[in-house]
Structure 1
């Protein structure tokens, strides 16, 4: 207890310098946490993927569609238990700034494949019965203030015209990483429109979702699906849901690498600032440390004082930085919620922030502590004058 009081007194002996150093630590630790949260949110879709789902799309590109007739042939492949499909809609709600994913899906089978979308039974039944019905995630509903029964108009881009859907259900994610920022409605409604306007484009979908019985056989089943349609007019590329999600993440790989590098650079910069603070502190107290050694205190005690003071400052700055990260993440989540639906600070990120603060404290004190432990008592006492 005595040593802790001594460390606190020493740490705040020069109040302005310590305060400025702590402010710098708070900014660095919170910025580090924000960047790590951003990287984690980018990979959230991959981590939330199920090992029992495969995604089959056109081998050429995701922009090319596949015939719905493929569903029956896929269902006949050994190991496939459920087939569903989804089409990207790309509508605009009120303004182009209001972006959120919208999919036209085969509702009944799609909800079976995604049990993590927790929907009340009465809402599910109402959705399945209403061709103009739609369901959305809780986060999306809260963003726009939607309630059950609301009319949601979307201005079509891929599918022209104004489409109005009735909100029949709001799902909650079974886990924190479950996407609650999507809107789902009936594929049949869109397909009927296409049959009238452009018959050649009808009865096609952007991707099939396959439920499988044994996750360990995912690769074999995927190869069997692709072999079934090899040399056809629309060949398929089938992969696990995680691999499918990673294909989108890989498009931003350079950006993510840059963000990761910046997060570490921030720590290095504040480490240099903290090292400068501890060097100045040690220089100012040279005579004091020499006096302690003259009174019989060991060099190890001097080392403890410097390391302890550095760690106290860094831990205070680190804790405040973690606390500041929460409102910052919350504010950014409101802006990026549609793009990164799982933008939340995790226990791992908080641990990384405190570890970064601890490393800064240890490294910053290493050089001055080594020097002060080796000072000559006579030369140190001469420093008084």
Structure 2
């Protein structure tokens, strides 16, 4: 693997451009936020040729626009002080600027996870600033740029994180109509006092062309066009079941044991009173998929994909608040019991 020299030029704290009003200093987490692991989610955005401006000008634009958008997304500039709330004290987010001594094309030609880690501010999280959002702006030779983001999962799922990035990009582009977040979720799903989440996190990388072929391989009569997520979840689930059987020394003649797959599903659009995409926080429901058949043939990938799709369709019919809270309670019991595959 090629060696990359990355030099840290500066590190500073970016705070909201205007103070958070006193009545907004305490941001309550929702029950679903509590359910999420207290881990950080990484993302890297690459820009091959970001115009003729200098690194200093681009960095200043990123910092200024980030400061402006944090006035709307003020919880990200706060600190988690308690399992129930975020102290929106405007302590700010970490911003790291680096120089990369190679062209960006060298990275894009070898998209390996080991290389991507150079552009995600993971090591800066270990310094203990308590920041809920870390940004690393990396400037390559010949004009390329990467923006690495590391954000606390307690405050954002994929949808709300994407909304934040769009709002930041809109502000950086000079447009005044950036989307403001909707913070009503904690009132819909009030937090519980006794909830604890397990510390787990895994990362997998899939080649795009192989993933496309794999989707075609898992298609069947019931699900003719599997999504990427359905195909990947079926594969990981099948591997977990096979590993569990191998650990117990079970052969192909032994009956299959029941298995459960749990996925977080975005439920903004399917609630009885739908929430906007700008709704901030973790707004998902545990999608619990069962595989109870004992036949080896029933555990193939195509059938697992079908089970996932059927559970998703059933979920869309039962998105009431009481049903969601009931699912969280059921999942909590499963976690406490442990075991199985």
TM-score class, shorter-chain normalisation, is under 0.3
Higher Rg of the two aligned structures: 1
Instruction: Answer 1 or 2: higher relative contact order, Cα 8 Å, separation at least 6.
Output: 1
TM-score by length of 1: 0.22
TM-score by length of 2: 0.24
More strand by share: 2
More helix by share: 1
